[in-house]
Amino acid sequence: MFINLRKPVLLVILSLFIFITQTLFAETLQLGQGQVTVTPPRGWQVEARENLFGFETHAITLIANNSRKPGCTVAIFAGDRLPAQTEASFLTYVKDDYAKTANQFRERNPSFRKVNIQNGIAYYFVANYAAYYNQPPAEGRAKVCGLLYVYRENKPLVVGSLYVDDPRDLALDLMVKAVTEMEIDFPDYASNTIRFDNNNSIKIDIPRGWGAERSRGTSISGMNTNDLKITPPPGEKALLIITVGRPRNGIPLTRDEFETRITGRVNSYLPEAVEKEAEYKELQIRDGYSKYSILTDKALVNQRQISPDDYRYVAFYSANYNNGCFLYVTVLTDDPNSESFRLMLNTLSGIEP
């Protein structure tokens, strides 16, 4: 009886000893405009790739051996920022993100575990790949994926995919520790330059606590475009979608061309609005001119409760700069007199392309 009781205790002690002695030798990696310091488990290799998942979305890979199992790939979203998060809102974000690829796994609703980290929020879960369940391990693939999400305010979102063949593999804990203890140093968003690629960028003051997400540009005739979505903290309903256009021929729009574009866009929405005619207001900007018009969605006027994806008011804003940059913007709100609406207009007025 004594020997049988001792054996699991010794195994636990041995596991703890292995865990403690595995973490040494930090490596600092330069990635784009920032750097990451990571401490891999002892003997593991570290690889880094800039822009692997898109511009300013970098990757760090930790691998134990040539089979690359156990191992993990960590995506660092350095060019985007989540809005300020609470534990509840970040867990909602994690669940929503997992739902996009849940068909790959057996677990449709996995158990999400909170990981205690310094100055941030982290959630982690382990899921079995559906295609390999009950199959023997094989080269070139993993049977199990641990997914780790790490959020720190005004820092890049970190998402780690941890690969093993056994959900009880102690290497999962080693990888979680390495990823959550990464030191990440990238420029803050306040008064910062957001780059769409190596040649295109804008300077923009993101309101504190708000987030920014880049995406493929909305089509504008005669222009190369990039989109930037500015989102408020959880619980606040507002949305700012900015399309940054630059003329393909390099020639700035004339004032008449600018007026034609914005009035044509606003007029196309008038049949769906309460307003019979559009009223325009100017917004003072540096090195250019701009104007906007607010329309009321007539389909929502008499509705007390509306969908989170619907907005009672939309402002169509355009700006034309002396350097040829053209902004094509949608501002969504339920209250054009709100603080969030004022913040969005201030954000637009301070843009420097």
Question: Is 82 exposed, middle or buried, given 0-12, 13-18 or 19+ CB atoms closer than 10 A?
Answer: buried
Determine the pLDDT at residue 1: 34
The residue among 119, 154, 185 that closes a domain is 185
Kindly state whether residues 56 and 155 are assigned to the same domain.
yes
Determine the pLDDT at residue 23: 41
Nearest to 241 by CA among 138, 93, 348, 114: 348
Kindly state whether residues 176 and 217 are assigned to the same domain.
no
Average pLDDT over residues 179-190: 87
What's the number of CA atoms in the CB half-sphere (13 Å) around residue 218?
12
Kindly state whether residues 204 and 60 are assigned to the same domain.
no
Kindly state whether residues 82 and 158 are assigned to the same domain.
yes
313 residue type, one letter? Y
Determine the pLDDT at residue 62: 97
Kindly state whether residues 163 and 212 are assigned to the same domain.
no
Answer with the residue of higher pLDDT: 18 or 24.
24
What's the pLDDT band for 188 if we cut at 50, 70, 90?
confident
Kindly state whether residues 81 and 218 are assigned to the same domain.
no
Kindly state whether residues 14 and 142 are assigned to the same domain.
yes
Kindly state whether residues 257 and 314 are assigned to the same domain.
yes
Residue 21 has pLDDT above 80, yes or no: no
Alpha carbon distance 61, 143 (integer Å): 18
Kindly state whether residues 179 and 196 are assigned to the same domain.
no
Q: What domain range includes position 207?
A: 192-349
Instruction: Say how many domains are in the chain.
Output: 2
Encoding tokens for residue 15?
């596991």
pLDDT in tens, 291-344: 999 999 999 998 988 999 999 999 999 999 999 999 999 999 999 999 999 999
Determine the pLDDT at residue 30: 96
Determine the pLDDT at residue 8: 43
Question: Is 333 exposed, middle or buried, given 0-12, 13-18 or 19+ CB atoms closer than 10 A?
Answer: buried
pLDDT in tens, 204-256: 999 989 999 999 999 999 999 999 999 999 999 999 999 999 999 999 999 99
Provide the edge-to-edge strand list for the sheet that holds 313-321.
211-216, 223-231, 238-247, 326-333, 313-321, 288-296, 280-282
Kindly state whether residues 178 and 87 are assigned to the same domain.
yes
Determine the pLDDT at residue 5: 36
Kindly state whether residues 98 and 227 are assigned to the same domain.
no
Alpha carbon distance 269, 285 (integer Å): 25
What's the pLDDT band for 67 if we cut at 50, 70, 90?
confident
pLDDT in tens, 79-132: 998 999 999 999 999 999 999 999 999 998 888 999 999 999 999 999 999 999
Q: In Å, how far are 275, 313, 317 from 298, measured between CA atoms?
A: 9, 9, 20
The residue among 185, 202, 232 that closes a domain is 185
CATH, residue 63 = 3.40.1000
Determine the pLDDT at residue 10: 40
Residue 187 has pLDDT above 50, yes or no: yes
The residue among 139, 162, 185 that closes a domain is 185
Q: What is the average pLDDT score of the chain? A: 91
pLDDT in tens, 252-289: 999 999 999 999 999 999 999 999 999 999 999 999 99
Determine the pLDDT at residue 337: 97
Kindly state whether residues 180 and 221 are assigned to the same domain.
no
State phi, psi for 221 to the nearest 5 degrees.
-55, 130
Determine the pLDDT at residue 190: 59
Cβ 150 vs Cβ 137: under 8 Å: no
22-25 contacts at long range (C-beta below 8 A, 24 or more positions apart): 22/174, 23/174, 23/177, 23/178
Determine the pLDDT at residue 17: 44
What pTM did the predictor assign?
Answer: 0.86
